[in-house]
Amino acid sequence: MLSKLKPASVWRYFGEIMQIPRPSKHEEKISAYLQQFGKDHGLETLHDALGNVLIRKPASKGYEKSQGVCLQAHMDMVCEKNGDKEFDFLKDGIQPILDGEWLTADGTTLGADDGIGVAAILAILDDDTIEHGPLEALFTVDEETGLTGAGGLSTEWLQSDILLNFDDEDEGEFCIGCAGGIDTTVAIDYTTRYCPAGEEAYRVKVSGLKGGHSGDDINKGLGNANKMLTRILWNATEQCKIGLARIDGGNLRNAIAREAWADIVVAKDYDGAFRELVDRFREHLTFEFRTTEPDLKVELEPIAMPQLLIDRETQYNLLNCLLACAHGVLAMSREIPNFVETSTNLASIKMDDKQIHIATSQRSSVESAKLAAAQKIEATFRMIGAHVTHGDGYPGWTPNPTSRVLKVGVETYKKMFGHDPVVRAIHAGLECGLIGEKYPKMDMISYGPTLRGVHSPDERIEIKTVQMFWDLTLEILKNLK
């Protein structure tokens, strides 16, 4: 399928990469693949304890005195699938599907974020006809769940003056800045009680949502399944006295929750009222999200009677906090029109035998606002005595509009395509922030082909933009002489 696409070398490597399992924190196979590639091509190849890989290629003839350029992409991918899809991300290869002008996957994320960046770098390293200065190819691990690969990068590894990050998702734009982020996680202790006699048992499920990136897509009015389910359960607790047995929603801290479900019991006296309540909220939510979530489903199905329920106090506290927990845009930039400054994502709700675990993430281009957003989540759950912890977080990337590589990129793009590219900062985390912290003199831009539905099974890449991205990159390397 991919052999018919252009540029052939990029798609060939992307096809190989798709068959290598590479969830975040499980990049051993892709790291080994990259190291073997470097050795097979006779290139200096390094790796560190985290699994990051660095491959160096000497300058082409006539470019020996040019500034060194680092081409950078991350190895890992977000692993999301539809609920009815049987797939093991630790073992199975991605199944690509051609859909007109787009390439997507069969019921899973495609991994073009950032597999297409990795593939393009390999294609450059493999081609001795390309004109370029001294090259370094940096492949990092664990970008999607903490940026720990870039965060653990040695300050003495890179020799380049310029960095081209291939992790942007819109052809025709150059990114020159990004938000910083931090994770806030919550653990709530609970006890159980026996399910009383004379109850009916149901599973309430919210599904069919688009999901999406918790940074780039946070201002698009998309639904969060965790918030929708909470509204139903909170009202059902107040009006129908339901008991909660289990709750599960969302998966990844950097993805907006697409699905969520809960197993509940309700007394037979309230059964009719409960069914009516679910029907009513189905109508409300369908109307509220009629434009952004046309495939939204709210389903109710009978299930076997559970033996145990969450204790009443914890159920009451949990649903109150989840309803109060902020999600979405908290502040817009005061300097950049239509740019999100600060946001938070209610990412996932999971349970084990003793605790309920809630994962959230906060982003902001203002460091103090990022911390304030995290503290807002902490304060919400502190009121019920929950255990709240914050991750180490990662810094933002301050824009440099006078950058040399930006100037070269903009001039090259305009000459090739006849119009100016967009230059912007994004409300998402990029490894450029961490790399810039370790290499403060590094001149950086980020760009790439067009991707949509990133971090969801709707992820797809626009085929024609890969050729544009490739051609642009070769010209930028040539013009950086």
Block residue for tokens 């990159």: 473
Buried b / exposed e along 24-38 (16+ C-beta atoms within 10 A): bebbeebbebbbebb
Q: Which residues pair with 55 in a beta bridge?
A: 45, 137
Cis, peptide link before residue 401, omega less than 30° from 0: no
Q: Give the residue from 103, 115, 117 showing the smallest Cα distance to 77.
A: 115
**432: its two tokens:** 């450029």
**7: its two tokens:** 């540029």
Is the CB of residue 174 less than 8 Å from the CB of residue 406? yes
Q: Give the residue from 328, 345, 339, 449 showing the smallest Cα distance to 399.
A: 339
Block residue for tokens 């119009």: 419
Q: Give the residue from 149, 155, 128, 121 showing the smallest Cα distance to 22.
A: 149
**Is 335 one of the annotated active-site residues of the chain?**
no
Give the chain's length. 481
Amino acid occupying residue 100: G
**213: its two tokens:** 């990136």
**361: its two tokens:** 């993430």
What lies within 8 Å, CB to CB, of 186 at 6+ separation is 357, 358, 359, 360, 377, 381, 386, 387, 388
Instruction: Characterise 25 by phi-psi region: left (phi > 0), alpha (psi -120 to 50), beta (else).
Output: left
**Is 101 one of the annotated active-site residues of the chain?**
no
> Active-site residue among 80, 114, 142, 143?
143
Count Cβ atoms below 10 Å from residue 278 Cβ, excluding itself: 18
Known catalytic residues are 76, 143
